[in-house]
Chains A and B, each alone.
Chain A
Amino acid sequence: MSTDFGELTPGVFPSILKETNADYLTQPFWDAARQDRLVAPKCSNCGTFRLPPSAYCFNCQQRGIDWVELPGTATIYSFTIVRHPLHPDLAPICPYVSGVVELDGTQGAGARMLVNIIDVDVENVKIGDRVEIVFEHVNDEMSTPRFRPVR
């Protein structure tokens, strides 16, 4: 089905933003995403992760970072099941699940992602479920990260 939002798939929130608007801090994330790799910035001083990438480490206030490749697996930390479309054209994708996931290979708060979780049994999704990243390559610039149950 085609709408202003493009081709729609049930359970999948469409990529409404097609540009990364990247700066020097976020470009490495999108470069890796294009290659289906998940990378995150890790403080080179204290090891704390931070997403979205930010100039300063909230833990030690230093700026240095190392980009680290993560396994791309995660645990659902919280979620909502969106049943009511906020725009009528979004009705075909409802219900869909969006939530907070905690990334493996990081140490808790500091490296969560807030993402659409796809290919799930909507009525049985729960906190603690294991998921893995999958990128939709929207164009040469944007690759939208989503998560799906670990296969």
Chain B
Amino acid sequence: MTIKDKAAIVGVGATPYFKRGQSFPESEFSMACTAILAALEDAGLTVNDLDGFSIYSSSCDPAAVGAELGVPEIRWATTTTSGGGGCAGALGVAAAAIDGGMATTVVTLMTLQQLNKRLGGSAVGGVLAYAMMSDSASPYGGSGVPPSAAFTANNGLLSPGHSFAQIASRHMHLYGTKREHFAEVCISTRDNAIKRPTALRTEPITLDDYFNARMINDPLCLFDYTMESDGAVAVITTSVERAKDLKQPPVTIMASAHGGSGRWGPALFRYFQTPDDEFASSGHRPVAKRIFEMAGIGPEDVDVALLYDHFSPMVIMQLEDYGFCPIGEGGPFVADGNIRYGTGSIPVNTHGGNLSEAYIIGMTHVREAVEQLRGTAVNQVEGAEIALVTGGPAGLPVSGTLLRKG
């Protein structure tokens, strides 16, 4: 027994996307409420129907949202642990809640305002915060600086980009992956963003632009990094039976999983003993295996892939780990044009991704998957029936979800 085909996404709502800090005087909380109301309205539902929260990275406090919006009764309130890796997996948790009869109408959302807090870590405070991250996954934190911090705090690795570059360098060393391959991810993603009114970065990038861009930390240049942005995106999930009677064509959750190999652990954020055979990967292999088994399909059946793209090399590794190409061949695979919208064998991040549209920690990918399967996407993949959405690589859990039209 699994959650296969038990629940469907029936509503999507979002605020506009903003460059970092520009959503002020809105707040993360007000944007969360705006996105939830918009998603309910899209589904033809109201707050009187809403009874569940399945979120990730503790994106909002259901207690505060419930009180603010006057939700009559909350029957389910969970967040996956860790950070953005749980994005796609939170949809599976919503489906499980619905299938188990614990809730009927569940919202999954992210809201983000990088006014005072920058995930990239720039201020001295941020530098220290990243270097000394607690061992605890609890928002209450551990008790001060953990003893393990002294083993990493003085090593000069101050941001997620510094950490993920280690994985990218290793992949280049093992498989001959090149910066040209990273460039193709950035250029094709930007091409997709150009036509999107919601996209924050719409100037075309050429290969020359890519190689002339400032190196942030080798092998990553400016274009390999996601942007920092503000906004909120929410989606509403309910049972497949109820979905049939609602306003929008349903998007069915075929399969969803979150997790990963135990010793992928918190990955390079504060752990660096990942087994050799997984180090130069996205950490998604166990999740990929589970969702394809659950759905009873293979990567060849996927029409469009919305892959979490905080750093361009991690798209290449996800293409490998989800089986779109063999391990180690992701670089040549993208160089051959396979991820291009319109001509490639598996169009990737048709919305412009985190790299070029906006970085709302993965929820823009869920929104795009729904639009593709409703047939309303700006860069519509012709005849799209099945979409893959992923969350992470990050500290565990990472996650993946397969969605189907109808």
Question: What is the interface of chain A, defined by CB distance below 8 A to chain B?
Answer: 4, 13-17, 19-23, 25-26, 29-30, 50-52, 54, 58, 77-84, 86-87, 89, 96, 98-100, 108-116, 126-128, 142, 144
Contacts and interface: CB of A to CB of B under 8 A. Distances in A.
A109 B275 contact: yes
A48 to B, nearest CB: 10
B265 to A, nearest CB: 9
A4 B147 CA distance: 24
Contacts of B217: 80-84
Contact of A78 (B128, B156, B166): B166
Q: Give the interface SS of chain A, mostly helix, strand, loop or mixed.
A: loop
A87 B166 contact: no
B246 interface: no
B215 A84 contact: yes
A115 B155 contact: yes
A74 to B, nearest CB: 13
B199 interface: no
A78 B123 contact: no
B245 to A, nearest CB: 50
A127 B131 CA distance: 24
Interface of B: 120-124, 126-128, 131-132, 144-159, 162, 165-167, 169-170, 173, 214-220, 262-263, 268, 272-276, 279
A92 B223 CA distance: 24
B131 A87 contact: no
A114 B274 contact: no
A108 B123 contact: no
B147 A20 contact: yes
A83 B156 contact: no
B127 A16 contact: yes
Given A80-B165, A84-B214, A96-B156, 7 more contacts: A4-B124, A79-B169, A80-B217, A82-B158, A82-B162, A82-B217, A83-B218
Nearest to A13: B156
Given A13-B156, A86-B158, A112-B273, A21 B145 contact: yes
A21 to B, nearest CB: 5
A17 B149 contact: yes
Nearest to A108: B276
A17 B131 contact: yes
B162 A80 contact: yes
A98 B128 CA distance: 16
A86 B122 contact: yes
8 contacts: A19-B145, A21-B145, A21-B149, A22-B147, A25-B147, A26-B147, A82-B217, A98-B162
Contacts of B262: 58
A114 B268 contact: yes
Given A80-B166, A87-B127, A113-B151, A17 B218 contact: no
A17 B132 contact: yes
Most buried by A among B167, B216, B218: B218
